[in-house]
Structure 1
Amino acid sequence: MEKVAIVNVKSFGREFPEFLDELKEKVGYVEKFIFSQDASQQELIDKLKDFHYIILGNDPTFKAEFFESCPNLKLIARHGLGFNNVDLEAAKKHNVYVTKEENIIEQDAVAEHAVSLLNVVAKNINIANQMVHQGEWGVRRERLMGYQIRGKVTGVIGYGNIGRRFGEIMKYGYKNRILAYDPYLPSEKAEEYGIELVTLEELMAKSDFISMHCNLTDENKKMINKDTLKKVKKGAILINCARGALVDDEAVLEAVESRDLFGYGADVCSQEPIHPDNPLLNHDHIVLTPHVSVYNLTCTENMNRKVMEDIYLIMEGKKPNVIVNGL
């Protein structure tokens, strides 16, 4: 009998409990774990050393020490797209496959969530909702003055699968001109998509709406900071459905308070869960959701099915899908 650990993925099997039953029937023992974001390697080793497969959420981080102490492990299947919480080289050294979701699975879900955040911030819907619940139907309605979205300029940072879908919605749904900053996107592809490739500085200066859809790397941490925000078009709206560490929270707050940014909408935070003292929580023009852009039934079902198929393929002596550590 083999063992499956579901680590920090509360949604797995919640809406689709039949998936848990299927795993137990086809694999054997299945257990769900919740660890703190900064769980030690020893804690992870103590709880997971006997498991063969790990279905992993956004945290904790698995380092070389973990792989050295878990000889039974065959697979870490990320229940998501990012894999910066796994030491890929260490996993490869110990012949452990690391996989991620196929990009297409999250494409619509995250792009739609980014557009939703943009609408909430641009229309001050969060403030309007508070007014209704607090009995302030006609009180100081000037608080609700926002932006029309049609006919503006949208800047997309990272024009991959999700960024491209977001750009399509803004281009064809809202008739926006689309600027993109993506060092890895060939110019002929940009032409095919009907968008304009620009520098980050030009994107910041010309965009009414800026949406982040790039991967997190050591090079782009806090790429949105005081310096880049000095170049932003006055009154722009910033959306982040990528990774919280891409932005400097303090710099974004200052930009919103000074009205250099009209507002900020994000599904991610630099520390998750967000610390209750984080000042981003105390501003009407900052709208945050708790990393839930993939929380719809279609996306959740497809994500769950994909990580299960990775396990089944290994059991059949085959390679899993979308391997990210070169095995």
Structure 2
Amino acid sequence: MGKIAVINITSFGREFPEFVEELEVNVGKVEKFILPADIPVEELIDLLKGYQYVLLGNYPYFGETFFKQCDLKLIARHGIGFNNIDLKSAKEHNIYVTSIPNEIEMYAVAEQALALTLSISKNIVVADDMVHQGEWNVNRQRIMGIQLTNKVTGIIGYGNIGSCYAQMMQHGLNNKVLVYDPYLSKEVADKDGVTLVELDELLAKSDVVSLHANLTKETTHILNEKNLSKMKTSAILINSGRGDLIDEKALIKVLKEKKIFGYGADVASVEPMLKENELLTLPNVIITPHSSIYNTDCMWQMNRKVVDDVCLVEVGSKPNNIINDM
């Protein structure tokens, strides 16, 4: 029998306790842990001694030092990102790494990006607060918004989620869609009715800019102070990719100086977000706690996937959606 550690996934088994029961009947003891992103690797090694399986959230980081001294057979990411795992090292130590297939999450994340876009454009949070404070007709200029129909949407990263969001903006709001993605072919762009452009052109022409790129060395701070200054002062910026796609210090500066209309995000450079982060003080910002996937349809499928991975490895089979080439 194996031992399973569920790390930084508060949702696992909460709405669907049958998944925890299934693991404990078929595999072994399930323990849940909430760990800081910066937990020392020695502490992580000690904590997970004797565990064969980890179901993992967005942090902490698992690298070479950990893999040299662990008993793991599998790390199953409860998500699609994998920047908190050294895939090469995991492979060298014969540890499977799996993730959630894009199609499970893509509609949930794209819907969240759309919800943030609409909420920023209509100042929904400010307007709701006005009503609750009894300020129905007080200083209504606070909620002067932007109409989105027949505008231009720019998408940075046209993968499963980016293309899904593009369809919503294109067909739902009749937007022209510009795309910056060095890996996207013109044939696919033409088929989808979107226009491939360079980043500078996208930033200059878009009324909405939405980030859906993976976080890599090349995309870290892809939106820095120089690039943010190229956006329209009436533009909305959305980030449902990763916090470090944007230089947050530069973002705070342009928001305070009203050089863009507003910012909506489901991610942050440091998660959980620090209370002293200045983004939290700005009225033209809406941030949700990395919660795009929090709907019953998506959560059931994600829980089912990681449980299947553990059960497959326990009986000597390969799990599904392996991302480290084993």
Matched, 1:231 2:230: yes
Matched, 1:44 2:44: yes
Tell me by how many angstroms 1:189 deviates.
Answer: 0.5
Tell me by how many angstroms 1:254 deviates.
Answer: 1.6
Tell me by how many angstroms 1:316 deviates.
Answer: 3.0
The equivalent residue for 2:120 is: 121
Tell me by how many angstroms 1:259 deviates.
Answer: 2.0
TM-score normalised to structure 1 length: 0.98
**C-alpha distance after superposition, 1:177-201 (max 9, x if no partner):** 0001111111100011110011111
Distance 2:201 2:318 in 1: 43
The equivalent residue for 1:305 is: 304
Note the 1:17-28 alignment, pairs <5 A: 17-28=17-28
DSSP 3-state at the match of 2:262: strand
Distance 1:2 1:288 in 2: 38
The equivalent residue for 2:250 is: 251
Identity rate, percent: 52
Tell me by how many angstroms 1:250 deviates.
Answer: 1.6
The equivalent residue for 1:64 is: 64
Tell me by how many angstroms 1:315 deviates.
Answer: 2.3
The equivalent residue for 1:192 is: 191
Note the 1:58-97 alignment, pairs <5 A: 58-70=58-70, 72-97=71-96
Structure 2 unaligned segments of length 5 or more: list them: none
Amino acid at match of 1:238: L
Amino acid at match of 2:195: E
Tell me by how many angstroms 1:257 deviates.
Answer: 2.0
Note the 1:126-165 alignment, pairs <5 A: 126-165=125-164
Distance 1:267 1:228 in 2: 21
Distance 2:237 2:90 in 1: 36
Tell me by how many angstroms 1:29 deviates.
Answer: 1.1
Amino acid at match of 1:230: S
Structure 1 unaligned segments of length 5 or more: list them: none
Distance 1:77 1:179 in 2: 35
For the 8 Å contact 2:213–2:219, the answer to whether it is kept is: no
**C-alpha distance after superposition, 1:216-262 (max 9, x if no partner):** 00121111111101211221000000000110112112212222210
TM-score normalised to structure 2 length: 0.98
Distance 1:204 1:321 in 2: 38
